Amino acid sequence: MSLFHWKSFSKKLCLYSWKDWRRLCSKVPLDIHKRSSSVADKTSSSFLSDVDNDKPVDKEFIRNFSIIAHVDHGKSTLADRLLQFTGTIAPEKFRDQYLDNMDIERERGITIKMRAARLWYRSKDGSRYLLNLIDTPGHVDFSYEVSRSLAAVEGCLLVVDASQGVQAQTIANVDLALENNLEIVPVLNKVDLTTAEPDKVCQEISQVIGIDASRAVRASAKFGIGVEEILEEIVHLIPPPKGQVEASLQALIFDSYFDPYRGVVVFVRVKNGEIRTGMKIRFMATGVEHSVEQVGILTPDEVVRTSGVLSCGEVGFIKAGIKSLHDAPVGDTITGCDNPTQEPLQGYKPAKSMVFCGLYPADSATLFENLRAALERLSLNDSSISFQPESSSVLGKGFRVGFLGMLHMEVVKERLKREYELELLTSAPSVVYKFRNFKGEYFMESNPSKIPNDARHFEEPFVKLDIVCPDQFNGTILELCQNHRASLEDMRYVSNGRILLKFLIPLAEVLTNFYDHVKSRTRGFGSMDYEFHSYRPSDLVKLDIAVAGDVVEGLSCVVHRDQAYIKGKEIIEKLKQYIPRHQFKVVLQAMISTKVIASDFIQPLRKDVLAKCYGGDVSRKKKLLERQKEGKEKLRQLGKVRLSPEAFAAVIAQKF
């Protein structure tokens, strides 16, 4: 075991006290797999042999649901247990986080993409049910995935960590579920922890979310406790899908990806009618028509149905020789060309890039084209990435790329490095600013160096920010938010001792290290969530940085007027450490338009021109010094200072 893995393993061991271990060992079956497969023998496996996945299922016996929760409350672990318990995955094939199949997801232990899987479950009432499960990400950057999954189901499991209680994203996800009129089934997870307080958390759920949680299943996804009860709740509380098989086809696209060999694979939920192989379908938003080549189900592997039918209420995939993801946008409705519906289903707003930064290959000449190809391929499967070419005097040719948030940006950068072997330099992340030019025309721009000097009336994106934390940290959180230009909108108790604070805050302020500050100020007990609210006017200015008289593109940024001097000074100090001394004096300036607000300089190298002048006439010495001064002045006017990419990266790192 590597040192790293050993460290994290031993850290996990230390989380349990001896009492914990004794309690766990006596109560919890250690071999989860054995336990779940033995129950599966009783309930599922015995009847899985006669399951016909090829035929559509009577919708009275279908339950479609998502699993939603705050980050790390145990969604993927619970999905694993449900897959095991129902015998969906053969024991020899099983691995933890089964539905998270991207390397980055497994290494970081986070879900980035939603995943669907169908499970068969024989209920205690004797009937056999088909459960379509959609596991969703918890991180705020990917909440778009959650809202997509919720439009495709009738209910959701709301997983709440019984030791942490209701957190900011629990509330945000419940709001999404309520918007979609879904049946919410609460589950109190991690009851194996000694710090678990299920009764208190039950009260919190009722108080904050307004749903009755008295019957909530008390579960431990880690140790397989309460899994059968959860399945019973799904079957009895979540309604079967509505819709008519005889009606015109209406199928909602909730996800899709591009396969270089098979074209676009579209994941759908059939709301009305049925999709059959060979039929002509129309994508209502784009008007594009195709013939269905294959339909199939997600077991979670893609299995083609030889019967060629996907019927009302079912979740599955279709392939129709589609070449571009833009022809089959997520959220669009598919209908039949012969008997089309007039009413498209309610779709989703397209995912919008919120954070932008420049990506430049370290060896720009050869790798620029590779970067373009890599971004094109990535954006085929991730429509929230946007990019366009840009160039910088320091970093050469690159692309300005838009992301959903900072984690999304990191994930994309990591994928570019691993999958395409691209070492990249990044310019400072920025949001999209709105401003007016001197003619009064409105513009939107994410690259601060492209904002003209006469820009005025700046507006920036604001987000609704929710922070949940113990009430003893109320003061420090208010102070933090005030320092980041937030305004308090509401404050209420979630439970005895924990509060929910609601703010309006500029997005640019929460992007960088803000979550770390919340965590450290609340000793790890605080959680936050945010969503876009609106563009609002702010007293912003464009800050330029000039080195030896030349403005350095890529170091420009938009800052609040009150922060401009401090920011400018910080950047200049950092540059001073990285720019080597030259023959001439290098002046460093921070400027708003043409007005210098902070400046410093790097001393020139000095050659002792009098060294060889032993004794001699004083006027001769003066002449030599005079000539040296003139030469340096000339150099200062003509000389250029090349900023190394390392200096650039260091300044960016401290700026954000």
Taking the complex as a whole, the smallest distance from the CB of residue 97 to ligand GTP amounts, in Å, to 6
**Element counts in the chain: helices (H) and strands (E):** 18, 31
Minimum distance of ligand GTP from residue 595's CB (angstroms): 47
402 is in an annotated binding site: no
- Comparing CB distances to ligand GTP, the nearer of 110 and 279 is 110
| Half-sphere exposure in the Cβ direction for 126 (13 Å, CA) | 0
Task: Name the token pair of 420.
Answer: 């395409």
- C-beta of 117: minimal distance to ligand GTP in Å? 14
Q: Name every residue whose Cβ is closer than 8 Å to that of residue 381 and which is 6 or more positions away in sequence.
A: 257, 258, 325
Least gap, CB of 506 to ligand GTP (angstroms): 26
**Closest-approach residue to ligand GTP (CB):** 138
Report residue 319 CA to chain centroid gap: 28
Q: Is the dihedral of CA 393, 399, 405, 407 positive or negative?
A: negative
Q: With respect to ligand GTP, which residue has the nearer C-beta, 108 or 576?
A: 108
* Closer Cβ to ligand GTP, 136 or 203, answer by number: 136
What's the closest the beta carbon of residue 438 comes to ligand GTP, in angstroms?
Answer: 48
Question: Which H, E and C letters describe 197-225, residue by residue?
Answer: CHHHHHHHHHHHHCCCCCCCEECECCCCE
Annotated binding residue 192:
yes
Structure tokens at 115: 């995943």
Q: How far apart are CA 135 and CA 155, in angstroms?
A: 13
Nearer to ligand GTP, 119 or 253 (CB): 119
User: What one-character-per-residue DSSP string does 240-260 give?
Assistant: PP---SSSPPEEEEEEEEEET
Contact stretch for ligand GTP (CB under 6 A) within 27-35, 74-82, 375-383, 630-638: 74-82
Structure tokens at 104: 């980055």
Q: Is 72 annotated as a binding residue?
A: yes
CA atoms of 224 and 205, how far apart (whole Å): 23
- Using the rule CB under 6 A, is 137 a contact of ligand GTP? yes
At closest approach, how far in Å is the CB of 641 from ligand GTP? 45
Structure tokens that stand for 221 in this block: 């996804």
Query: E-assigned strands of 471-551?
Result: 487-495, 498-506, 527-537, 540-547, 550-551
Q: Mask 204-243, x = binds ligand GTP (CB under 6 A)?
A: ----------------xxx---------------------
**Which residue's CB is nearer to ligand GTP, number 71 or number 318?**
71
User: Has 175 been labeled as part of a binding site?
Assistant: no
Is 135 annotated for ligand binding?
Answer: yes
190 makes contact with ligand GTP (CB under 6 A): yes
Q: Which of 82, 83, 85, 138 binds ligand GTP (CB under 6 A)?
A: 138
Nearer to ligand GTP, 106 or 576 (CB): 106
Nearer to ligand GTP by Cβ, of 74 and 186: the residue is 74
Choose, by CB under 6 A, the member of 192, 314, 332, 509 that binds ligand GTP: 192
CB contact burial 270-283 (16+ within 10 A = b; e otherwise)? bbbbbbbbebebbb
What letter does residue 351 receive in the DSSP assignment? P
Q: Is 533 annotated as a binding residue?
A: no
C-beta of 98: minimal distance to ligand GTP in Å? 11
Beta-ladder partners of 218: 188
Contact mark string toward ligand GTP, 105..134, x via CB under 6 A: ----xxx-----------------------
379 is in an annotated binding site: no
Which two tokens mark 265? 């694979």
Angstrom distance (rounded) from CA 209 to CA 166:
9
CB of 35 to ligand GTP, least distance (A): 14
Q: How many whole angstroms separate alpha carbon 65 and alpha carbon 152?
A: 8
27 lies in the binding site for ligand GTP (CB under 6 A): no
Binding-site members are 69-76, 135-139, 189-192
Binding-site members for GTP are 69-76, 135-139, 189-192
Q: Which residues bind ligand GTP (CB under 6 A)?
A: 69, 71-77, 109-111, 137-138, 189-190, 192-193, 220-222
